[in-house]
Structure formats: structure tokens, C-alpha cells
Homo-oligomer: A and B are copies of this chain.
Amino acid sequence: MAYDKLDQLAINTIRLLAVDATFKANSGHPGAPMGMAPVAHVLFNKFMKFNPKNPKWLNRDRFVLSNGHGCMLQYALLHLFGYKVSMDDLKSFRQIDSILPGHPESHDTEGIEVTTGPLGQGFANAVGLAVAQAHTAAVYNKPGYNLCDNHTYFFFGDGCAMEGIASEAASAAGHLQLGNLIGIYDDNHISIDGDTACAFTEDVTKRFEAYGWHTVWVKNGDTDLEGIEAAIKECQAVKDKPSMIRLTTTIGFGSLLQGTHGVHGNALKADDIKQLKEKFGFNPEKTFEVPQEVYDVYHKHAAEGAAAEQEWNKLFEKYVSEHKVLGAQFKRVLEGKLPENWQSKLPVYKPTDGAQASRKLSEAVLQAIHEELPELMSGSADLTGSNNTIWKNAVDFQPPSTGLGDWSGRYMRYGVREHAMAGMMNGMAAYGTVIPAGGTFLNFVSYAAGSVRLSSLAHHRVLYIATHDSIGLGEDGPTHQPIETLAHFRALPNMMVWRPADGNETSAAYYMALTSKGTPSILALTRQNLPQLEASTLENGIKGGYVALEDKSAQITLVATGSEVSLCLEAVKTLKDQNIKARVVSMPCVEVFDAQPKEYKLSVIPDGIPALSVEVMSTLGWEKYSHEQFGLNRFGASGPYKDVYKKFEFTPEGIAKRAVATIEFYKDVKPLRSPLNRAFEQLI
């Protein structure tokens, strides 16, 4: 179609809103919005379907701004199309308690699909959104009911293109033949250090071809709106490959500093803004100016989206009445509810049941619940047999042409791509119909730290199945034995770190992970066998911490997690031989324990006797729950795991020795308060 002055006016309106908002905030990134306004206009106004009045409509096209620093572009679009972003909101960009933070956050702003800014994350999120779409379509679409056919579009810049997570995600997307995914690469040759010639001279197009992507090059992304439209159309027609449009643009288009990194991360100067507005035919005396005809054209497109949703709603109701079982399931999933009584499927163990590694106990949970929870998609970063993340007869999520599975499959082969796995899972969770769970060794969850942080910040229900959780993995040695990992993720807000001690606690961990809609979980699981405990129940486990062995006349409380709980129970016997009485607390999840009523917590770790924590990794943070800490503030060792435990004195005797020292040390302190008693409350 032909483009006219109105299109140019809309584009310049977007550019100037970004310029004015960053100028007012005296902070932010005008360059990318100014360069990408043309493609954003074409994409949003000519291609994307969405309803600003219901930003959560399932079949909307998804948009991800992986170069999230350019968020004023997206905020301007949300405002112009009529999402809940007012002119006052635009004026409060980057101010305290504004709904428009310095980088896009899905939890803050309606219409933002995923939280981006940390470079490369949005790229992986987009791949995850496309995975979830392909899967949802395969499961629910029926002849005459094309309920799920949206595209995922994403923008990314040179920064994202350099990040490893984007490379991993691009390789995965190519393998998965995600034809519903279209990425637009802002090829503007500028990053913060200046011209990309100083560090980034690879052939990006060729690299994406090597991954199996379809590629197109639009050489003049500043003004060739027809070319942009043709490129997007061409990519939409490619059904068996993701597509990448290399869009050569001028960063800060129109500014006196256009094409330099001077417009990347700083507001424009006043005189530059003046000449820009004049050049664009805007009144240089006015700020935040939106011509009514721009609102009109965008509101018209929004109204078309609203109408499309209405049509879709009718089709959906018809579907529900025709495909009763699947329809009810689809409806339930869309409402974000788990099936009634699903938790009755969680395995329950008696103390007499055999010892098992908690990675195997986790497998048993997945085996038991996967039919009940069709929204659950499991997977692993190439450690399936070690992470035990697969259930019997699971079908791979694979392009049918591979002969290895199909789009309805629920098992993801992420490859050795931990960071992309986590970023993709964030996107999958954001789509709205999938609960993703993905496995790797606990030590290598750290490879994914950038995305794990965003699971927490963006409130995604994502499960990290993190096996081989300590020196207990044995022979692989210090390169694979986590020391700092649990401290790291316990310090991360809005993250549940679970380290279950046995079967019932493993079921409890899954129960909480699956029912906590806005909080991700890391399940730290052993390689080695653990006995089933006497006091462990689902009810106890979901409190995060509970008394595993009570003794009202105890002289000390031993607080432990995972594999060390049964060791502490052994240590109680050793102490008894020395006429010392001890009680044991199992603390599978400190974050969940923190949320219990204080009275309960003080019944678990009471005043009057000292508490000693026992966990075979960094002691950092255990001071919050214990007076003294037995842990491992050094790297581990390679050897059979029992030898490694012995080397570091993680034996009943080693624990008992420290318990005795702790009792002795605190005998004269009055009052001896539980460490849970604090002088003031923390801000949360």
C-alpha cells in the first residue's frame, strides 16, 4: 500500500514524544526510538492485531522490545493506541512511582509483554512466546477453530545481537523452525562504545542463516516504508523458519547528532530539539504534542483489534460448546486456574519407603501430575537423563519434519543453552497458557542468572529443576559443585529456593511452585539417595520449615535443608550418647518459612536454646535462622560423595562436635533470643 503524509506525521510524533520525555526526565535513550519509529509504525498499524482495552487477549500478536532501553518508543505507541498510558504517564517517565520505568517492566505497565532492558533477554523471551504459541495452536486449534495463530515480533539491536543468550535462543529457534517469529534487527552500527566497527564486525545475516533463519535486508529503514512492509509480508509467508529483517537505520534520526552514540543514552539538547521539531513541521514551543489525526488513525486500528477480539470471543464460546473436554481445559488454563484437586496426584511417602535421590523424587512428581496438568511443559538443557525431567512416553516439542516429535509435544530439548532456556521459559510463562519447568545442574543455573533474575522481577511462574545440588554430586568435582549458588538466589527477591529433604518435601516444593502464580522457584535436588523422614508431610513442607524431630528439653536446635536433614537426625543420636538433647528443624524453603506467622516460626526456632544451621555450602545468610553455622565456605573436592562429605566433616560426629561447641558458647547469654526476633521489620 501507499504511504502518505499522515504516516510520516505519526512516525515523527512517536519520535518527538521520545525526545520530549527523555528531555523532561533528563535521562533515557532517544536514539533507538527515533531510528525505529518507522518500522514500529508500519508493524503496529499495518500488521499487528491487538486490543488495547484487553491487553491480555490470548490471540493478540506479541511484541517484544529486546533493546529495552528504547522503551519510550513502546510507551509512545501504548499511549497513542489507547492503552492505559496517559499523557501524564509519559511526562512522569523515569520518575519515582511512575508506571513507566527506565526499562519496560511487564509487571508495571499494561501492554508490555515481558520485562526487558538487560540485553538479549527480550530475544529469548520472544522465542519462548513463539514456542508457547506453536504449542498452544497444536493442542487447541481444530478445523474451523483457528483460535491461536498470532505472530511474535521483536526488535533487537547490536547489543542484543552480541549477547550469548541471543545467540543461544536464535540457534534454538532455528532448530525449532518457528515460522511465527519475526525479529527486526536495528542495524544502526552504533553501540555505547561508538561505531560497532570497534568490536562487532561479523556478518550477522550469515550467522542467522547458519542458524536456519530466513533473512531479508531493508537497506533504508529510515524512510522506505514500502520496503519495510514488503519485508514483513515476505517473512509472514515463510512458515517453516523464523525470520530476521536486517533493518539499516540511523540512530537518532533527525537529530544534529544522528548516527552517533551521542544520541544513544542521553537526552537531546534544547537547540537540537528545536531544529528537529521545525524540521518535522512541529511547533518548537510545544512539548508532548500529538496531532489529533495521529490519535485517530491509531485508535481506528485499535478499534479493529477490539472487533477482532469480539469475533474471537464468539468463536471461542462456540469451540467450548463443541469441543467440551478440550474447551473446558482451554478455558481453565486461560483463567490461570489449576484443575480441582490436582494436588491429590502428588506422591506421598511413608518413612518406611526406600531412600531415593530427590532428582528421582522430582521425576516421580512429574510422572504423577503431568496428565493432570496439560499446561506443564518440562525440559532440560541437555541433561535429561541426569535431571530426570522427563516422564514416560513424553513427546518432544519438535517440528514434525524432524520426526522426533511434534508441536503439541510437552518436552523441550533446550540444548546446552542454560541462559536461553531460562529466557525462553520466561517468554513461555508470559504467553499465558504454559507453565514451564526446565532442568540443569544447580551450578549451571548461574549461567542463566540474567534470566533467572527477570523470572523474579517479572513475576513469572517458572520452575528451575536444579539437580546435583552440592558436593554430594561427588566425582565431577569443584567445577560442578555449587557453593555460592543458594546464597545467590536466596538473596534474589521474589524467588523460592527449595531444597527438599525427601519425597514429601519434594511434593510440597512442587505444590508451592505450581500454585504460586507470581513467583518462580528453584528446586535444588540431590544426585545421591535420601531416606524418607518421619515428620515430613506435604502440610509441613508447604510451611517452608517445620520441626522434623521435637524434644521439649532439647539444648540445641539443628536447622538443616535437603541432604543434611537426615544427617542431623543421625547427629542427634551421636549427641544422645554424650547426654546432649537436640531437636531438628527441616527448612526446605526459607522464603516460604519467612511468610509464616511469627508465633509458628518461633515454635520452630524457639527462644532459649541456640540454633545451629547445617548445609554443605556457603553459610552466607544462615545467620538469619541460627546462632551458629556449619557449612562450606570453600570450594569442594572431586571424589566419591561419601568421601567428600567425610573430608569436610559433614558426618554425625562433625555436626555433633559443632553442636557441643555452640551449646557451650551460648550457655551464659541471657536472654538467648531466637534469631527470628528482630529489632525492626525489613522493607518489602
Binding site for B on A (CB under 8 A): 25, 27-28, 68, 94-98, 101-103, 105, 115-119, 158-160, 162-168, 171-172, 174-175, 191-193, 197-207, 209-212, 380, 382-386, 396, 398, 402, 404, 413-417, 419-420, 443-444, 446-447, 449-450, 453-454, 456-457, 474-480, 483-484, 487-494, 610, 618-621, 623-624, 627-635, 637-640, 643-644, 647-649, 657-658, 661-662, 664-666, 668-671, 673, 675, 677-680, 682-684
Min CB distance A396 to B, Å, is 7
Once A203-B210, A382-B191, A478-B101 are accepted as A-B contacts, the answer to whether A159 and B683 lie under 8 Å apart by CB is: no
Given contact pairs A162-B417, A163-B417, A620-B620, enumerate 15 new A-B contacts (beta carbons under 8 Å). A27-B640, A95-B638, A96-B640, A102-B476, A102-B477, A102-B479, A159-B382, A164-B417, A165-B447, A175-B202, A205-B210, A446-B450, A457-B635, A661-B679, A665-B677
| Shortest distance from the beta carbon of A587 to any chain B beta carbon, whole Å | 15
**A383 cross-chain contacts in B, Cβ below 8 A:** 192-193
Q: A206-B206, A483-B491, A620-B491 are in contact. Are A168 and B162 (CB under 8 A)?
A: yes
Among A68, A416, A618, the most chain B Cβ lie within 10 Å of the Cβ of: A416
Decide if B620 touches A415 in the complex (CB within 8 Å): no
Instruction: Tell me whether A212 and B201 are in contact in the complex, defined as CB-CB below 8 angstroms, given that A105-B479, A633-B683 are known contacts.
Output: yes
Contact A27 B679 (CB under 8 A): no
- A622 nearest in chain B by CB position: B623
Do the beta carbons of A415 and B640 come within 8 Å of each other? no
State the 6 A-B residue pairs at the shortest beta-carbon distance, nearest first. Answer: A164-B164, A623-B623, A96-B639, A101-B638, A665-B679, A199-B415
Q: Tell me if B683 and A648 are in contact (CB < 8 A).
A: yes
> Given the complex, which residues of B lie within 8 Å of A647, measured CB to CB?
96-97
| Cβ contacts under 8 Å, A119 to chain B | 416
B662 touches A673 (CB 8 A): no
| Most chain B beta-carbon contacts within 10 A, residue among A204, A449, A454, A627 | A449
Minimum CB–CB distance from A633 to chain B (whole Å) comes to: 5
What's the nearest-Cβ distance from chain B to residue A642, in Å?
A: 10
A33 to chain B, nearest CB (A): 16
Q: Are B413 and A198 in contact (CB under 8 A)?
A: yes
A620 and B621 contact, CB distance less than 8 A: yes
With A207-B210, A386-B192, A444-B450 in contact, do A632 and B683 touch (Cβ < 8 Å)? Answer: yes
Residues of B contacting A474 with CB < 8 Å?
27
Contact for A621 among B159, B193, B621, B644, CB less than 8 A: B621
Of all chain B residues, the one with the shortest Cβ separation from A619 is B682
Q: In the bound complex, do residue B671 and residue A671 qualify as a contact, i.e. CB atoms below 8 Å apart? A: no
Q: Once the chains are docked, how many angstroms separate the CA of A382 from the CA of B197?
A: 12
Q: Could you tell me the distance in whole angstroms from the C-beta of A271 to the nearest C-beta in chain B?
A: 22
Pairwise interchain contact A640-B164, C-beta atoms closer than 8 A: no
Nearest residue (CB) in B for A454 is: B479
In the complex, are the beta carbons of A192 and B117 less than 8 A apart?
A: no
Are B103 and A476 in touch, CB under 8 angstroms?
yes
Whole-angstrom distance between the alpha carbons of A639 and B101 in the complex? 8
In the bound complex, CA of A647 to CA of B98 (Å): 13
* B643 in contact with A95 (CB, 8 Å): yes
Point out the residues of chain B lying under 8 angstroms from A117, CB to CB: 476-477, 479-480
| Distance from A165 Cβ to chain B, minimum over Cβ atoms (Å) | 5
**Residue of B with least CB distance to A207:** B210
Asked whether B171 lies within 8 Å of A202 as measured between CB atoms, the reply is yes
Residues of B with C-beta under 8 A to A632: 683
A406 to chain B, nearest CB (A): 13
